Amino acid sequence: MTTIIDGKAFSANLRGELARRVGILKQNHSVTPGLAVVLVGEDPASQVYVRSKGKQTAEAGMKSVEHKLDAATSQEEVLKLIEALNNDPSIHGILVQLPLPKHIHEESVINSINIDKDVDGFHLSNVGRLSIGADGIVPCTPLGSIMMLKDHLGSLSGLKAIVLGRSNIVGKPMAALLLQESCTVTIAHSRTKDLAAECREADIVVAAVGRPEMVKGDWIKPGATVIDVGINRIQNTDGSTKLVGDVEFSSVSLVAGAITPVPGGVGPMTIACLLHNTLQQACRLNGVDVPE
Ligand code: GUN
């Protein structure tokens, strides 16, 4: 029987646990974790994400601040806002929603965030820390994926893992985390010669390519654990739309030992991990331990 890894339940559990710890932090240290989200422009998908982030931040008992800026806002103005948030002691996490409008240089904006408030883990210093296995902030989607893998498999040591996709947000940090867990890691991408054959070797498959239902059942080693990071909206024959992952669920779920569904798998874990990172940094910036 294939296990369906329930990210919705896992994330609800994690958020409940975080809310409990936030309550203790407030009571014992009078610290309320604060998360600021910066959205530039009107990208509809980004607006949906930002709304969910704000709602779940407040539900966890944290302070949620949203800065919605016009698409024509200059880079200088965005940098000025980040500087103000860097200097605001009530803010412990700053997230700049990506993508930014073309006239704004993403890297310059991300690297202007105080590294201890970079709850996305995208700042070069946090990327560097992750690559050498030092303490730092870990990007939310890979962190959520690792949490689910460890919850399902226990130790990952010695397992063969393949990451499909080499993005800075998911593929590369995911590979670094799997390596930290002592997996033997392959990173595959659009130029990989025989993707199916590479996949069939793996005990763990993480798909993060943004191609709807690309991974098929005959690519999977029987019993492997499959983490589907993809969220793709496709059209049904009747014109309605639905969300699918990068994995063809119908065929892969017949072969895999465990699989995350889309929706309801990795997706809900991303915001839960953002709140996790915000609580960690609120404690660190205030010099207190994270409540037990
Ligand atoms: N856009 C899509 N995913 C993300 C994410 O994880 N963080 C940010 N800041 N923007 C995104």
> In the chain, where are the structural domains located?
30-115, 140-267
CATH number of 140-267: 3.40.50.720
- Contacts for 202 with CB less than 8 Å, ≥ 6 apart: 160, 161, 162, 186, 221, 224
Nearest atom of ligand 1 to the alpha carbon of 139:
6
Q: What average pLDDT does range 110-135 have in this prediction?
A: 98
Q: What average pLDDT does range 110-116 have in this prediction?
A: 98
Determine if ligand 1 sits within 6 Å of the CB of residue 244: no
Residue 41 has pLDDT above 90, yes or no: yes
Question: 257 near 2, Cβ under 8 Å?
Answer: yes
Averaged pLDDT score across all residues of the chain: 98
Nearest atom of ligand 1 to the alpha carbon of 99:
1
CATH class of 30-115: alpha beta
Q: Residue 22: its pLDDT value, please? A: 98
User: For residues 69 and 193, what is the distance between their CA atoms, to the nearest angstrom?
Assistant: 43
Confidence at 57, pLDDT banded by 50, 70, 90: very high
Phi-psi map region of 152: left, alpha, beta (phi>0 left; psi -120 to 50 alpha): alpha
Q: Residue 202: its pLDDT value, please? A: 99
Residue 280 has pLDDT above 90, yes or no: yes
3-state SS assignment for residue 229: coil
Q: Residue 214: its pLDDT value, please? A: 98
Query: Is 8 one of the annotated active-site residues of the chain?
Result: no
pLDDT in tens, 127-152: 999 999 999 999 999 999 999 999 99
Determine if ligand 1 sits within 6 Å of the CB of residue 113: no
Per CATH, 30-115 and 140-267 having the same topology is answered yes
DSSP string spanning 256-291? -SEE--SSSSSHHHHHHHHHHHHHHHHHHHTT-PPP
Residue 1 has pLDDT above 90, yes or no: no
Determine if ligand 1 sits within 6 Å of the CB of residue 140: yes
Residue 85 corresponds to which tokens in the numbers above? 């948030």
By C-alpha distance, which of 289, 225, 285 is closest to 93? Answer: 285
Determine if ligand 1 sits within 6 Å of the CB of residue 95: yes
Residue 114 has pLDDT above 90, yes or no: yes
Mutate to test the pocket of ligand 1, among 96, 106, 112, 169 (most ligand atoms within 8 A of CB): 169
Query: Is 150 one of the annotated active-site residues of the chain?
Result: no
User: For residues 38 and 64, what is the distance between their CA atoms, to the nearest angstrom?
Assistant: 11
- Contacts for 232 with CB less than 8 Å, ≥ 6 apart: 210, 211, 212, 213, 243, 244, 245, 246
- Out of 56, 97, 280, 281, the active site residue is 97
Distance in Å, CA 222 to ligand 1 centroid: 33
By C-alpha distance, which of 233, 157, 165, 232 is closest to 199? Answer: 165
- Out of 118, 120, 228, 246, the active site residue is 120
pLDDT in tens, 160-218: 999 999 999 999 999 999 999 999 999 999 999 999 999 999 999 999 999 999 999 99
Among protein residues, the one with the nearest Cα to ligand 1's atom 2 is 98
Determine if ligand 1 sits within 6 Å of the CB of residue 120: yes
DSSP state of 98: S
Residue 48 corresponds to which tokens in the numbers above? 């949906």
Provide the CB-side half-sphere exposure for 138 (13 A, CA): 26
% of the chain residues with pLDDT over 70: 100
Query: Is 27 one of the annotated active-site residues of the chain?
Result: no
By C-alpha distance, which of 171, 133, 19 is closest to 161? Answer: 171
Among protein residues, the one with the nearest Cα to ligand 1's atom 8 is 97
Q: What average pLDDT does range 36-42 have in this prediction?
A: 97
Q: Residue 259: its pLDDT value, please? A: 98
Q: Which residue has the tokens 């331990």?
A: 289
Q: What average pLDDT does range 112-125 have in this prediction?
A: 98
Among protein residues, the one with the nearest Cα to ligand 1's atom 1 is 98
Alpha helices in 87-185 (DSSP H): 106-110, 124-132, 140-153, 171-180
